[in-house]
Amino acid sequence: MFFIWVNEKNSFVFFCATLAVVLFLRLLITTITTSITFVEHITSSTMFLVRSGCCIQQHLRRQLQPVCIGNLRATFFSTKSTEEDISILKNADHSSPPPPPPSSSSDPLAGIYSQADVPQPLEHLSAFPPLELTNINTSITPVREVWVENMSTPHSIKLAILPLHPDVWSAFPRPDFIQENHKWQTLYKHVDWRWMPTRAEIKGTTRKPWPQKGMGRARHGDRKAPQFKGGGWACGPRGPRTYFYMLPWHKRVGGLLSTLSVKFAQNDVHVVDSFASFPLEGTTAHLEELCEARAWGPSVLFVDRVPIERAPLATVDGAHLFEATKGVTHINVLPVYGLNVFSMLKHETLVLTVEALREIEAKLLHQLRRVDLKNVIGQSHPYGISRM
């Protein structure tokens, strides 16, 4: 009877301990679940507040930009005192944007030597067509912007802000596309000129070096065999051999988009009004001083919009800039139709004119949205490369 009572007592204790452990685990799981739910609510609330703040900021920016953006930018970069800036902002007419100051010259950049001399807004930049955004949610993919600088002075003068298309300048970076473009451009111009003669192309007699039998030596036909010194090659290179191949079309387009987006993300893309504003008497020393004052790095690539019927590199308005780049090897000029991944990787900074920027966007957007892919890559796709 004693042993039976002890066994029953042990069973009861074990049951109580098991029940306590189960209740503790259930309480722990409930606490963890509640904490996760609370964190999710806090995260969703924070994201809602951030998105609301971004929407409010964009709305205020759109509302206030045409009113006082000129005065604010001029005040930010001007050399006037703080009291004068405050009086200018207080006395500003908020009903309409301030008109540009009258200029006696036809060039809107004439007489601009500091940031305070910049008219707001600049007339010749507003003549370009506005940015067209189709099927783009700007709350998710915001429109990038870039300063438009001058070329008339060594120090940078901000002339205006230019919007950039997110499909071109905010593309998802594909390092594999960039590497394949670099390899393609490196190999397509490479030719292997090595040529080794075979035994039939070696000059000499075809007589047997010794009799077939009776000499105790291996049998051979002639001395021009590959195993003899001075003989022909059995499997040698037979040049010239080209390494040219055509990279697929979507990889070429993707390589350009990825390189431009990465360059812009690294702050290595600068936009200028035009190369015509570079001083006509400017030399190589002036150009190097300009690049050094603006911290454009040791190598710079200038890109301008040049018609194909013109000379390959000399531009109509920037011929004097092209002449100034002849004295250095780390500063080069390219037309838009010659822009490539290898040249952008070779140079640290990419400098575009406003016309070149819009031309690049138009060409790449056409390639992204074209629906005649069957004529390009042999496949039919109704939405273009942007949704492949």
Same-domain check for residues 233 and 262: no
What would the mean pLDDT of 40-63 be, rounded to a whole number?
59
Residue 22 has pLDDT above 60, yes or no: yes
The pLDDT assigned to 94 comes to 42
Same-domain check for residues 162 and 306: yes
The pLDDT assigned to 111 comes to 54
The pLDDT assigned to 124 comes to 52
Query: In which band, very low, low, confident or very high, does the pLDDT at 104 lie, cut at 50, 70 and 90?
Result: very low
Which pLDDT tens digit goes with each residue over 199-220? 999 998 889 999 999 999 999 9
Q: Report CA torsion sign: 315, 321, 323, 329.
A: negative
- 275 vs 37: which has the higher pLDDT: 275
Residue 131 within any structural domain of the chain:
no
Residue 332 within any structural domain of the chain:
yes
What would the mean pLDDT of 307-315 be, rounded to a whole number?
52
- Out of 5-14, 148-157, 299-308, which region has the weakest mean confidence (pLDDT)? 5-14
What would the mean pLDDT of 182-198 be, rounded to a whole number?
93
192, 241 Cβ separation under 8 angstroms: yes
Using CA atoms, how far apart are residues 268 and 259, in angstroms rounded to an integer? 11
DSSP 8-state secondary structure symbol assigned to residue 304: E
Residue 107 within any structural domain of the chain:
no
Residue 116 has pLDDT above 90, yes or no: no
Same-domain check for residues 234 and 369: no
What would the mean pLDDT of 159-164 be, rounded to a whole number?
88
Residue 151 within any structural domain of the chain:
yes
Tell me which residue range forms the domain holding 356.
Answer: 138-186+245-387
- Out of 81-95, 159-173, 296-310, 342-356, which region has the weakest mean confidence (pLDDT)? 81-95
321, 281 Cβ separation under 8 angstroms: no
What would the mean pLDDT of 234-259 be, rounded to a whole number?
93
What would the mean pLDDT of 43-68 be, rounded to a whole number?
53
Using CA atoms, how far apart are residues 278 and 272, in angstroms rounded to an integer? 10
What would the mean pLDDT of 309-328 be, rounded to a whole number?
70
Q: Which of 105, 167, 159, 156 is nearest to 128 (CA)?
A: 159
DSSP 8-state secondary structure symbol assigned to residue 56: H
Q: Could you give the angle at which helices 175-187 and 249-265 cross, rounded to 10 degrees?
A: 120
Same-domain check for residues 286 and 234: no
The pLDDT assigned to 258 comes to 96
222 three-state secondary structure: coil
Using CA atoms, how far apart are residues 250 and 183, in angstroms rounded to an integer? 16
| N-to-C CA span, the chain | 82
124, 273 Cβ separation under 8 angstroms: yes
Average pLDDT, the chain: 77
List the beta bridge partners of residue 353: 272
pTM exceeds 0.85: no
Same-domain check for residues 280 and 348: yes
Same-domain check for residues 262 and 232: no
Which amino acid appears at position 45 of this protein?
S
Same-domain check for residues 155 and 48: no
The pLDDT assigned to 290 comes to 93
Residue 105 has pLDDT above 80, yes or no: no
Same-domain check for residues 93 and 167: no
- 324 vs 77: which has the higher pLDDT: 324
158, 147 Cβ separation under 8 angstroms: yes
- H or E segment to which residue 320 belongs: helix 319-324
Using CA atoms, how far apart are residues 39 and 41, in angstroms rounded to an integer? 5
- 121 vs 327: which has the higher pLDDT: 327
Using CA atoms, how far apart are residues 34 and 28, in angstroms rounded to an integer? 10
Q: Report CA torsion sign: 34, 38, 39, 41.
A: positive
Same-domain check for residues 22 and 92: yes
The pLDDT assigned to 90 comes to 43
Residue 130 within any structural domain of the chain:
no
User: Total domain count for the chain?
Assistant: 3
180, 188 Cβ separation under 8 angstroms: no
Q: Percentage of residues in the chain with pLDDT exceeding 90? A: 39
- 309 vs 378: which has the higher pLDDT: 378
Same-domain check for residues 277 and 146: yes
Instruction: Output the CA–CA distances (angstroms, integers) from residue 380 to 251, 364, 371, 373, 383, in the order listed.
Output: 17, 19, 8, 6, 9
Residue 244 has pLDDT above 50, yes or no: yes
- 293 vs 318: which has the higher pLDDT: 293
